[in-house]
Amino acid sequence: MWQPALFAVILSSISGSLYAVDGVTPIDQDRAMAGNITPGDAPDFPVTISQSGSYRLMGNLTVSGMNTTAIQITADSVTLDLNGFSIIGPVVCASRPTACPAPGKGIGVQAVGDQILGPQGVRVLNGSVHGMGLMGIWMTGDGTSVERVNAYNNAGGGISVAGSVVESAANHNGSFGIIALMARDCTAVENAGDGILLDAGGVAAGNVSSLNGGYGIWAQFGTATGNTTFLNKSFGISAFCPSNIVGNTVVTAEHAGIETKGADCVLANNAIRP
């Protein structure tokens, strides 16, 4: 006997399997325009990821508006593999010195909750985000991470996460380069504001932060070790004490190389030269 309801369930299952490969859900421009990448995802941008799991770009995503967000993540435990592709907005910044249009509201990848804490355990890797109206990546949940991502020419900032940024670059953004609890092996170059800013208790290790319009690295009660800062507009490294500032190379321009505020900072084996 023909059972329409059962047929609909089977068809839905088959349709889903056509899109997910090895448990990874693909995303591209056409799928973004069609919607329903996850339940509740409306056609057009932002693509809303409302279910935990793995997602992968299969082509560049291009948004046309300064106030348009490309991908909005609302679920915990999401991995978004940019797969070598780019999320592209309309912003073009001038360089040397970096100057971008007035910021809008658009974000390349956003994982921000209604309260301070956003979705947890969100990971973004392997691609680039540029030309967005506000920020390249903004994630406020615990355990968030960005790996091997290039964020540039965004009108506001490059990458802001509550967790870690590793082997990534934030260059030529209209404000800061990177905000994180931990930044390792990253570059922040020619941002209009500060290069790398650490959340309280954070660690900056092995980074290069140069030619930024503010601080090279700013730490509050944290650790900066093995970094190189070069000709930033303000101090190469600025820290609230107690902090550990060890083994860094700082080349200065207009200010002294390292600034500390308060007592009980540890400074050791830093090389400073004008």
Beta carbons within 8 Å of 128's beta carbon, 6+ residues apart: 82, 85, 86, 87, 149, 150, 151, 152
Residues 70-89 pLDDT 10s: 999 999 999 999 999 999 99
Nearest 5°: the CA angle 30, 59, 137 is: 100
Q: How confident is the model at residue 46 (pLDDT cuts 50, 70, 90)?
A: very high
How many domains, in total, are found in the chain? 2
Residues 43 and 167 occupy one common structural domain:
yes
Helix H or strand E encompassing 33? helix 29-34
Q: Which of 190, 210, 231 is the endpoint of a domain?
A: 190
Instruction: Kindly state whether residue 198 falls inside one of the protein's structural domains.
Output: yes
Q: How confident is the model at residue 8 (pLDDT cuts 50, 70, 90)?
A: very low
Where in the sequence is the domain holding 204, given as residue range(s)? 194-274
Task: Record the pTM.
Answer: 0.91
Instruction: Kindly state whether residue 207 falls inside one of the protein's structural domains.
Output: yes
Instruction: Kindly state whether residue 8 falls inside one of the protein's structural domains.
Output: no
